[in-house]
Amino acid sequence: MKAARAFAAGTENALFLYGPPAVGKTHLLHSIEHELRSRRPEANVVRMAAEELIGRMLHAYRYDTEPSFQELLNTIDVLLLDHVLFDARMQRTNEALVLQLCTMVDRGTHVAVAASAPPKDATRIAATFRIVEIGAKTGVSHLSS
């Protein structure tokens, strides 16, 4: 997949992958991580589930520790965020997550996201990220193919 290769090579700095379960999104993030670690061993590459990032973000808001949370995010060169779910019941949380990811990209962090669907209002994502739908016909086995 050209977009994933471009992201791993550093020519794309924001990639949003979405598609149904079991089409290879997580596998593709692992391949990107492997490629990045071999190309840029000095880079701080962080792969995590969206649930973990959202939990840390909500904790920072709730306990007024946003500055230390932002300092932590500022140390990340590349964020690979997996299992993003845009649940209609969590609209404010979704909006906060999208804002956080776009802010990270704006300040130079490379961000790749894997989700089962794009957010309901994808305007901000579309303005910042290259959006790629992955389906049964476009599933990916690894970067070198």
Q: Which tokens is 65 given?
A: 């520790």
- Domain span at residue 64 reads 2-133
Q: Residue 83 is which amino acid? A: H
Decide if 141 is inside a domain.
no
Degrees to nearest 5, angle at CA 22 with 27 and 141: 40
pLDDT tens column, 33-43: 999 999 999 99
pLDDT of residue 89: 82
Higher pLDDT, 93 or 137: 93
pLDDT at 135: 84
Do the domain assignments include residue 79? yes
Nearest C-alpha neighbor of 102 from the set 120, 79, 86: 79
Q: Is the pLDDT of residue 144 over 50?
A: no
Angle CA(119)–CA(129)–CA(31) in degrees, nearest 5? Answer: 100
Q: What is the mean pLDDT of residues 108-118?
A: 93
Structural domain includes residue 142: no
Q: What percent of the chain has pLDDT over 90?
A: 75
Is 138 within the bounds of a domain? no
Max CA pair span of the chain:
46
Give domain status of residue 139, yes or no.
Answer: no
For residue 137, what pLDDT is reported? 60
For residue 24, the domain's CATH number is 3.40.50.300
